[in-house]
Amino acid sequence: MTEKELKILGIKLKNYGTSTGSDWFTNKDTILSSSPTNGKPIARIERTSHKDYEKVIKEAENAKLIWRDIPAPKRGEVIRQLGEKLRETKPTLGKLVSYEMGKSYQEGLGEVQEMIDICDFAVGISRQLYGNTIHSERPGHRMYDQYHPLGIVGIITAFNFPVAVWAWNSALALVCGNVVVWKPSEKTPLCAIACQHILADILKSNKLPEGISSLITGDAEVGTWLSKDRRIPLISATGSTRMGRQVAITVAERFGKTLLELGGNNAIVVTPNADLKMTIIGAVFGAVGTAGQRCTSTRRLIVHESIYDKVQQSLVEAYKQIKIGDPLDTQYHMGPLIDTDAVQIYVNALTKIKEQGGKILVTGRVLDGEGYESGCYVTPVIAEVENHLDIVQEETFAPILYLIKYSGDVRNAIELQNNVRQGLSSAIMTTNLREAEIFLSQNGSDCGIANVNIGTSGAEIGGAFGGEKETGGGRESGSDAWKVYMRRQTNTINYTSSLPLAQGIKFDL
């Protein structure tokens, strides 16, 4: 990206300590932002010190007193302005997402569109923060429940969706009357800085405190500060199951609340009644989109034995057409992995597949040569395996698709699909109504997301997003996910001159 494009997003590289030479990699007080597309450093960003962290939290505490007293529809107006600004900056912000994270430019634009969509959704929610009116058993009494802001919401996000997940949380948390403190992935800090600039400018133009939205940068240590901080009632954390488990334990020790969006091990069930053309499109995009680095990426394809060979052949042919290269070049389907550490995880997974008895159908390798100088480009893999293998039970954040054969009816496939520790996204490909309904029933998929005739990857803003088991149980985005950012209060009003007790209890004086 050019400096001119970054300035559109409020980023002036000289303000972030850009440099050249070996000191890019040796300064412990900074985070290096580099692009996996070419391996080149973009900027060096200062880490948040504990002293600065305390300043941020104090400003947030002051800002929350002002923000929560602003009527919810007025808060919604601020988020509407955010959505409009995102529309203006979509091409540039989408390009930054693509360049810093490595996903295709089309996916970068799609991620910014998710931000716009959640802003639109949140504006509507700002006029619908409803409680219930409840009939009291006592005459002359009225009961109802209402929702109040929590205060400060801490947001920890992952590299694979460096801007959208922040928006999912912030748009809703803000219209609910909270202020937010964001700790982004240290692998994509510039995307976070761009978003912070956009919202900060809107707050300033509305004469609102900048502490309504704050950004802190750093590694896991900074995330631990958030998790331990009793001044932050809710921590929303997106990332690996390992990270989420630590956050959950730390926050639970102080009786805080968590919203966890963690690992996925997503499967598509393909029955004999599937539309195979749709199946191949859904499976290939699900497996190679974002280079397999989505939490909803398709990891497993569970195929009925009667069509297994046909599906396998079609997939192998489809994989021959996948083009890998610079994600900003729209001719390519797949870009790089986020860094060389991710590449090593990919390589290790291929070794484990072979060691555990799997069969590689489409061989994977690390690409080198012209255009692949970063060392982060790999080829997608298809492996024939059994569901119980240890490597299949893990989530490998890479473009590796496992083919698994099933026999009998759809219930056998569902049992295989559910037999992993994660429970995020799932799908079935079938034109048979009974199979679809069984899959969606209480005896069907155990995931938070269950789709029919679409893949596991990609979700609309209107529905609640999240999963069960080691996925963490959190729900973000649509439906009534806004309620997690608020505290519920039950109110009972007695407008009589007597004091009857509940359950008919008598207590006379």
Is residue 64 within 8 Å of 151, Cβ to Cβ? yes
Is residue 225 within 8 Å of 54, Cβ to Cβ? no
User: Cα–Cα distances in Å, from 117 out to 174, 175, 259, 261, 429?
Assistant: 15, 15, 21, 20, 28
Coil/strand/helix, residue 423: strand
Residue 495 burial (CB count, 10 A)? 7
The answer to whether residue 261 is catalytic is yes
Cα–Cα distance measured from residue 170 to residue 182, given in angstroms and rounded to the nearest whole number: 9
User: What's the one-letter identity of residue 240?
Assistant: S
Give the list of residues 6+ apart from residue 249 with CB closer than 8 angstroms, or none. none
Query: What pairs with residue 300 in β-bridges?
Result: 267, 402
Is residue 126 within 8 Å of 79, Cβ to Cβ? yes
User: Cα–Cα distances in Å, from 334 out to 32, 37, 291, 337, 376?
Assistant: 24, 11, 6, 9, 12
Is residue 124 within 8 Å of 480, Cβ to Cβ? no
Cα–Cα distance measured from residue 308 to residue 404, given in angstroms and rounded to the nearest whole number: 9
Is residue 213 within 8 Å of 170, Cβ to Cβ? yes
User: Cα–Cα distances in Å, from 263 out to 55, 65, 220, 293, 468?
Assistant: 33, 36, 18, 11, 10
Cα–Cα distance measured from residue 330 to residue 150, given in angstroms and rounded to the nearest whole number: 43
Map tokens 């922040």 to a residue.
Answer: 166
Cα–Cα distance measured from residue 451 to residue 436, given in angstroms and rounded to the nearest whole number: 9
Is residue 264 within 8 Å of 424, Cβ to Cβ? yes
Q: Determine if residue 207 is left, alpha or beta; phi over 0 gives left, psi from -120 to 50 gives alpha, anything else beta.
A: left
451 closest CA partner among 319, 296, 310: 296
For the record, the structure tokens of 2 come out as: 């050019």
User: Cα–Cα distances in Å, from 454 out to 285, 428, 436, 449?
Assistant: 11, 8, 12, 11
Is residue 83 within 8 Å of 175, Cβ to Cβ? no
- Active site residue: 107, 114, 261, 394, which one? 261
Is residue 100 within 8 Å of 161, Cβ to Cβ? no
Which stretch of DSSP H or E encloses residue 384?
A: strand 381-384
Give the list of residues 6+ apart from residue 422 with CB closer than 8 angstroms, or none. 241, 262, 263, 264, 265, 266, 395, 467, 469, 470, 471
Name the residues annotated as catalytic.
Answer: 261
